Every structure is written in structure tokens, then in C-alpha cells.
Amino acid sequence: MSEVQSTFQLNNYSIFTGKKEIMPIYMDRHDLSGATAKDVAQAHQKDLNIQDRFGCRGLTYWFDEERGAAFCLVEAPNINCVKEMHNHAHGLVPHQIIEVESKVVEAFLGRIHDPQPDNNIDDSGLLLLNDPAFRAIMSIELEDSELINYRVKHPHSKNIHQAYHELIRKILDQFEGRKVEHVKDGFLVSFASVANAACSALEIQTKLELVSAKLGVKLLTKIGLSAGVPITEDNAFFGDTIQQAKRSCEIARGGHILISSSLKEYLSGDNLKQLNEQPSFKVFKTAEEDFLKQLIRVTGALWNDPEF
């Protein structure tokens, strides 16, 4: 029996408190080019068969056959226990592991447990999941929102904010966007569909013009769109994708939509044609994204240097 097994053989039952301790939750990434949904389902079942020996609890996973990637969500005492469980179960040691919060995972990905079976059970009773964790992320800001209270009289300013929030809520529901973050008049939204993300951005701009006319005040949103997977080199949950969306939103002009090259890659020809017809739409080139990322990194580190 390994040190990891012997240490957590009690399934995290504390001999000091007599209570089951709350364990951290980890998400790992497996690069599995050529794997099928059945291959991954079988590996997941092997994890479940021996998880108690390592004090772990496999919650669920996401598999993207097109991109050859699987992401496992595991409750475990530490990262090493996750690695040991995978290694002993099937030998597919994760390429990367990060600690996550269950509420954040659910906000972005929609679940933290296996979905209900829906014609995806094989003859052996195995649940097959081909459910990508790839998401489009939208960052929305209402331009000069703090000035609305000064431009119009109360309580009309309150009505303006309420109308704006209600519009955003309806459009996000229509295009199946998951609201991840809401700070004042800014939103961070997750979409399983890249097309829905792009179409909802256009719908927001179009419908906001009608709301503006009705309220008698010009309202403009700045929108940044990006796309990616939960774990990349920066070791933060959707870190690169969120930062790209927020950076794009920050530098966008009012009434404009900035889209990352990563999201454009997955747009269909019709969606892209529709966007290109909009004068307020721009796609970042990879070189532009790299330059912006470096510029923000440097200015962030040196902004208070008098010689900068």
C-alpha cells in the first residue's frame, strides 16, 4: 500500500473531530487525441472503482472528442491523490491540475455532477459523455454608466438601469448565456455555443438602440468576446479566456463588439458574414492580441514607475 493510500484510507474521516472533513475540488486536463467517448467513460469508471483507496470522489467529467481533451472534476485531499488515483486506475496521468470552486465551475459549465442519461447509455450501462468544456466568454459594460445618474434626474435614472438589466437578462436567456459575474452594469457571461454568443452580442446592440429611443437617453454597450477551455498554461480557471474578453471590452468603443481570433475560428460562415456586415464589429488578429497582452502586462508592472 502506497503512502497516499495509507494516509487517506479512512476516506477523510477525521480522528480528531469525528466528522468528515470538507475536501478541496480539483479539475484536471487530459490531452487524449484519438480517444472516443467510450474510452473516456471506461477510464472514468475505473477511477470510480478505486477512488476510495485514495480518499477521492470523482464528481463528473467533460470530454471534447473534436479537440481531444477531457477535464475531470474530483474531490480529493490534494493534487497528488488525484494523480495517484488516475495512475493506478488506468495510467492516464493528467497533464495539468488546478484547484477550483464548485460554484464557479457550475456557473461556467452548467453542472458539477453527471447529467441525467439521455440516449447516451451503451449496451453495458456505461454513461457516454461527449460534452465539451469549451466555452465562449462575453464581457459586457454599459458605457459611462456612472454618469447616467448625473445626466438624468432620479427616479428616471433608476428606470434606465432597470430597463438595461432586464434587456440583458432576456437576451441572455434567449441565447442560453449563463451569467457568471454581475457588477453594477457589467456582466461576464458563459456560452456553450459560439454562435449563440456572437448572435446575442448583436441582439444586445440592436435592442439597446430601441430601448434608448424609448427612454430618451443614448445607451451604448462595449462587448468583448473570447473562447477557450477551462485549463491552460496560466493555471487559472478560464483565466486566459476571461482576461481576453475583459481586455477586449475595456478597449472597445461604445456600441462596438471586439472578438478574439480564438472565437472567430469556430464561427460558421453565415455567422461571420452577419457579423462582418456590422460596422461596429472587429476581429482581433493573433498578433494584435499578443501585443495587447504584453502591453497590459508591462504597463501593469510599471505604471507607478516615474521613469516609465
Over residues 197-243, the pLDDT tens digits come to: 999 999 999 999 999 999 888 999 999 999 999 998 888 999 999 99
Instruction: Determine the pLDDT at residue 12.
Output: 45
108 within 8 A of 178, measured Cβ to Cβ: yes
Is residue 140 one of the residues assigned to a domain?
yes
Number of domains in the chain: 2
Same domain for 260 and 140: yes
Is residue 117 one of the residues assigned to a domain?
no
Query: Which CATH number does the domain housing residue 21 bear?
Result: 3.30.70.3090
Sheet holding 221-228, edge to edge: 177-183, 186-191, 135-142, 221-228, 257-259, 281-283
Mean pLDDT of 157-183: 94
Torsion sign across C-alpha atoms 142, 145, 151, 153: positive
Which of 67-81, 93-107, 143-157, 183-197 has the least mean pLDDT? Answer: 143-157
Is residue 266 one of the residues assigned to a domain?
yes
Domain that holds residue 95: 3-109
Query: Which CATH number does the domain housing residue 236 bear?
Result: 3.30.70.1230
Mean pLDDT of 178-202: 94
Q: What is the overall mean pLDDT for the chain?
A: 86
End-to-end CA distance of the chain: 58
Is residue 257 one of the residues assigned to a domain?
yes
Same domain for 140 and 51: no
Same domain for 150 and 104: no
Same domain for 162 and 95: no
Same domain for 39 and 152: no
Same domain for 217 and 268: yes
Is residue 115 one of the residues assigned to a domain?
no
**Residues 239-292: tens digit of each pLDDT:** 999 999 999 999 999 999 999 888 888 886 666 677 767 777 887 766 766 666
Same domain for 96 and 144: no
Q: How far is CA 173 from the centre of its chain?
A: 17
Is residue 121 one of the residues assigned to a domain?
no
Which of 11-25, 53-67, 82-96, 126-140 has the least mean pLDDT? Answer: 11-25
Instruction: Determine the pLDDT at residue 118.
Output: 78
Is residue 19 one of the residues assigned to a domain?
yes
Element (H, E) at 197: helix 194-215
**Residues 122-167: tens digit of each pLDDT:** 878 899 998 999 999 999 999 988 778 777 766 677 888 899 999 9
Is residue 224 one of the residues assigned to a domain?
yes
Cα 210 to Cα 213, 218, 269: the distances in Å are: 5, 10, 28
Same domain for 161 and 33: no
